[in-house]
Amino acid sequence: MKMRKILLRLPGEVVLSDHSILVLTVLYFLLIWAIYPHMAGRRNLANLFSNVWPLLALVIGQMFVLIVGGIDLSQTSIMAVTSVLGAMVMATRFDPAKFQHNPLWDIVFSEQGGWLAGSAGAVPAAIVFMLAVGIAIGFLNGLAVAKLRMPPFMVTLVGMSFFSGLAIYLTRSENIMHLPDRFIAVGKGAVGPVPSALLIVVSLTVIAFVILNRSVLGRWFYAVGQNIRTARVSGIPTERVIILAYIFSGFCAAVGSILYSARLEAGRPTLGRNLLLDVIGAAVIGSISLFGGKGKVLWAVYGVLFFVVLDNSLNKMPLEFYSIDIIKGCVILMAALLDALRTRIGANQLIPAAGG
């Protein structure tokens, strides 16, 4: 009798579990592996994980904003603008045919390279600059949302448009090549056997975990997202908490920009132009709520893993290109349905518990 009860409750518990997306990912991976043996090949796994790291950096940042009940649509434009600004600082050469009509020619950069080209500090300075710009844009977004009480959707949508345009204006649509090898190594190199991108993003993930799970600030993030009025009455500095969430999102977008720019070996004004759906999609698949107050670092990791495995697997199949888009959309929808199912089962289980 007891066993039967356990078996009956098991599916619900599995679906409700924190790890259900991981189970789904592993099952899906194994299914695809059975069909396409190279799915688990060393090269494919390395490739798969190299796609995880930069996306995870963005999703971690997005998660903070979602937890406080906001959304950051400007992440991809932060990537674009930081990518070109960083390249303008450190690129070793600029092609006059493409850049001599740029208003910043001979002011910020010239044929001999960027502002700090050739100096030992060029790469660290460019990275710090990129992170600072990301933080500054995040601060502006947070300020508009928290202090001016503007809708996050509108603020970050306008931010997306403005900073994307700025990136294109600064470069006149040109990609900036000739980035230093030391910078490219940040995205493509390794420390011993460990890819440097992994080290960077795992560190970022640990920081995010500590903030959310081991600090008062973390509890404030959840409190603000669950009910901002109650949080305010409880004495939580809600405005500062919201601003901090957007700052962290901007910071993470800049980290993503560093990794993507390094792997593409260029500062690109259109960097991440089509990445927003992946970021929000992975967060939602990871069960991070769009309504605020709900989200975990582990969920973000699972969401990104599922998304990247899905993308990778679809690239294995001999499908026509439009079929891939359709399948991807359907699978994301199914994952969203699963999330809705989890919420319903959770609510059903709470009602009898409350009643009895």
| Whole-Å CA distances, 347 to 209, 334, 337, 338, 342 | 27, 20, 15, 14, 9
Q: Give the integer Cα–Cα distance in Å for 47 and 68.
A: 33
**Nearest distance, CB of residue 89 and another protein, angstroms:** 18
**Nearest distance, CB of residue 98 and another protein, angstroms:** 6
Residues 105-164 that bind another protein (CB under 8 A): none
Residue 178's region, left for phi above 0, alpha for psi from -120 to 50, else beta, is left
Contact region for another protein (CB under 8 A) — 20-28, 142-150, 208-216, 332-340?
A: 20-28
70 vs 272 by CB, closer to another protein: 272
- DSSP label of 38: G
**Nearest distance, CB of residue 97 and another protein, angstroms:** 7
Select from 49, 92, 93, 98 the one that contacts another protein (CB under 8 A). 98
Q: Does 341 bind another protein (CB under 8 A)?
A: no
Helix H segments across the chain? 2-16, 20-35, 42-67, 75-90, 96-99, 122-146, 152-171, 181-188, 196-214, 216-226, 228-233, 238-264, 276-285, 297-314, 321-355
Q: Does 86 bind another protein (CB under 8 A)?
A: no
17 vs 230 by CB, closer to another protein: 17
Q: Does 203 bind another protein (CB under 8 A)?
A: no
Q: Does 1 bind another protein (CB under 8 A)?
A: no
Select from 93, 182, 240, 263 the one that contacts another protein (CB under 8 A). 263
Select from 63, 127, 186, 268 the one that contacts another protein (CB under 8 A). 268
List the one residue out of 259, 254, 151 whose CA is nearest residue 199. 259
Binding footprint of another protein, residue count (CB under 8 A): 57
Q: Does 274 bind another protein (CB under 8 A)?
A: yes
Is residue 58 within 8 Å of residue 84, measured between CB atoms?
no
Q: Give the integer Cα–Cα distance in Å for 348 and 356.
A: 13
Q: Give the integer Cα–Cα distance in Å for 106 and 129.
A: 20
Select from 294, 298, 311, 338 the one that contacts another protein (CB under 8 A). 311
Q: Does 350 bind another protein (CB under 8 A)?
A: no
Q: Does 273 bind another protein (CB under 8 A)?
A: yes
Q: Does 38 bind another protein (CB under 8 A)?
A: yes
**Nearest distance, CB of residue 264 and another protein, angstroms:** 6
**The one-letter amino acid at 143:** L
39 vs 231 by CB, closer to another protein: 39
Q: What angle do CA 293, 297, 302 make, to 5 degrees?
A: 110
**The one-letter amino acid at 212:** L
Select from 158, 324, 336, 338 the one that contacts another protein (CB under 8 A). 324
Per the document, the length of the chain is 356
194 vs 319 by CB, closer to another protein: 319
Q: Give the integer Cα–Cα distance in Å for 228 and 180.
A: 46
Q: Does 64 bind another protein (CB under 8 A)?
A: no
Task: Give the tokens for residue 142.
Answer: 């947070």
User: Which residue shows structure tokens 């493409």?
Assistant: 98
Q: Which residues bind another protein (CB under 8 A)?
A: 6, 9-10, 13-14, 16-17, 19-20, 22-23, 26-27, 30, 33-34, 36-41, 43-44, 47, 50-51, 97-98, 172-175, 177, 260, 263-266, 268, 270-275, 311-312, 315-316, 318-322, 324-325
